[in-house]
Amino acid sequence: MPRPHRAVVLPAVGLVLAAALLSGCGSDGSPGEAAKTDASEKNPHQHPDAAVTVQVEDDRFSPADITISAGDTVSWHFDGDLPHGVQGIGDKAMSINSPLFEVGDWSHTFTAPGEYRYLCPIHPDMRGTITVEK
Q: Is 84 in the site for Cu ion (CB under 5 A)?
A: yes
- Write the interaction track for Cu ion spanning residues 30-69; mark x where CB under 5 A is met and - where it is not: ----------------------------------------
Give every CB contact of residue 117 below 8 A, 6+ residues apart in sequence. 88, 89, 90, 93, 127, 128, 129
Closer residue to Cu ion, CB minimum distance, 85 or 132:
85
Strand partners of residue 109: 73
The window from 7-15, 24-32, 78-86, 87-95 that contacts Cu ion (CB under 5 A) reads: 78-86
Count of helix runs (H) and strand runs (E) in the chain: 2, 8
Q: Is 122 in the site for Cu ion (CB under 5 A)?
A: yes
Closer residue to Cu ion, CB minimum distance, 2 or 109:
2
Q: Which ranges constitute the DSSP H helices of the chain?
A: 3-23, 31-42
**Residue from 50, 120, 130, 132 that binds Cu ion (CB under 5 A)?**
120
